Amino acid sequence: MDKQRRKFLTIAGASVLAGIGAPAIIKLTSSDAVASSGGHEAAAGHGAAPAAAGHGAEAPQGVRLGMVIDMRKMADLPGQLDGAIAACIKTHNIPEFPDTKNEIKWLWKAPFENVFLDHSSYHSSKRVATTPFPALCNHCDDPPCVRACPTKATFRIPQNGIVAMDFHRCIGCRFCMAACPYGARSFNWQDPRPYIKKYNADFPSRMKGVVEKCNFCGERLALGQEPACVEACKGTGAITFGDLNDPKSEVRQVLDSEFTIQRKTNLGTKPSVFYIV
């Protein structure tokens, strides 16, 4: 099982690189991806039909990475969200500014009433009222930020559904920040490098004047690793990560058995992050 998951993550990650990198990699990956869907017979069976049928409303075919966050388990171990955030900061060279004005946030904490504006927080249970909720990019299936970007510097990777950024193409117009209904995007108002506490040479730091956000750890997936926040919560089941379109995936098994909610579904963005409250 674990080996299979590792293989899946590698494929999902390699397709991240394919989205950003050289055409040679794309070729390599697409053949890999075909091989992988051969592994799951059910998925391969689905694969043929949609090409003719065109766009489905929700649940399009192919790999769509997503996440389920179990707030019951988050509440059981209050420190683990902080651990996940710290891991995210360390992995991605996220600068830590002393003020909120310059703040760069990929994964952060906020109260339920702020994260779930569409859900009533009137007399919510004590656990919901007191447990901080993680907020991050929802890697929407229909992302408004991608629609708004005038340079395709932010784009949805068709092979795995990750909404990614090209920091070198971004012109810093911040249209995506106005467009994102989840407040998931941050802008480098100044050179972030002096505020990076511990530099991780495996991931690039950013320059001033570009937007950034959570990338579902595409660079780690390419190496067969799990996203940093998922790894930080390993063993507790607080965060489950995987392919939402694969009925056999762990994340789908959680979704099939639990009632989950998503943020601002009425906006039609089709978020890929689910919460068990």
Partner 1 sequence: MIEKTLKGKPAYWIWLAFLGMFMAIGAACYLRQYNFGLGMTGMSRDVSWGLYISQFTFLVGVAAGGVMLVLPYYIHDYKEFGRITILGEFLAISAIVMCMLFIMADLGQPMRALNVILHPTPNSMLFYDMCVLCGYLFLNILCGWIILTAERKQVHPPKWIYFFVYLSIPFAVSIHTVTAMLYCGLPGRHFWLSAIIAPRFLASAFAAGPALIILCCIILKRVAGFDAGRKAMNKLVTIIIYAALLNMFFVGLEFFVGYYSNIPGHKFALEYLFFGIEHHGHVYNNLVPFMWAFVILAFGAIGLLASPLAKREDDFFLGVGCAMLFLAFWLDKGIGFVLGGFVPNPLHEIVEYIPTANELGVTAGVWATGFFVLTLLYKIAVGVEHEIE
Instruction: Give the interface with partner 1 as residue ranges (CB under 8 A).
Output: 100-105, 110, 113-115, 117, 135, 144, 146-153, 169-175, 177-183, 186-191, 207-211, 264, 267-269
CB of 6 to partner 1, least distance (A): 35
CB 66 within 8 A of CB 251: yes
Tell me how far, at minimum, the Cβ of 187 lies from partner 1, in Å. 6
As measured in angstroms, the least distance from the Cβ of 258 to partner 1 is 25
Burial state string for 166-190 with b = 16 or more CB within 10 A and e = fewer than 16 = eeeebeeeebbbebbbbebbbbbee
* Per-residue DSSP letter, 150: S
CA pair distance 220, 233, nearest whole angstrom? 16
Q: In terms of CB distance, is 208 or 234 closer to partner 1?
A: 208
Nearer CB in complex with partner 1: 33/69: 69
- Residue number, 158 or 172, with CB nearest to partner 1: 172
Shortest gap between Cβ of 106 and partner 1 (angstroms)? 12
**Of 69 and 170, which has the nearer Cβ to partner 1?**
170
Q: Where are the alpha helices (DSSP H) in 21-107?
A: 23-39, 41-53, 71-76, 79-91
Comparison of 122 and 259: residue with beta carbon closer to partner 1: 122
Interstrand relation of 239-243 and 163-165 (parallel, antiparallel or unpaired)? unpaired
The token pair that represents 183 in the structure block: 């407040």
**Element holding 77 (H helix, E strand):** none
Helix residue spans in the chain (DSSP H): 2-20, 23-39, 41-53, 71-76, 79-91, 112-115, 126-130, 144-148, 175-179, 218-221, 228-232, 250-257
Q: In the complex with partner 1, which residue's Cβ is closer, 121 or 260?
A: 121
Q: How far is the CB of 275 from partner 1 (least distance, A)?
A: 15
Smallest separation, CB 245 to partner 1 (Å): 24
How open is the CA angle 161-20-168, to the nearest 5 degrees?
120
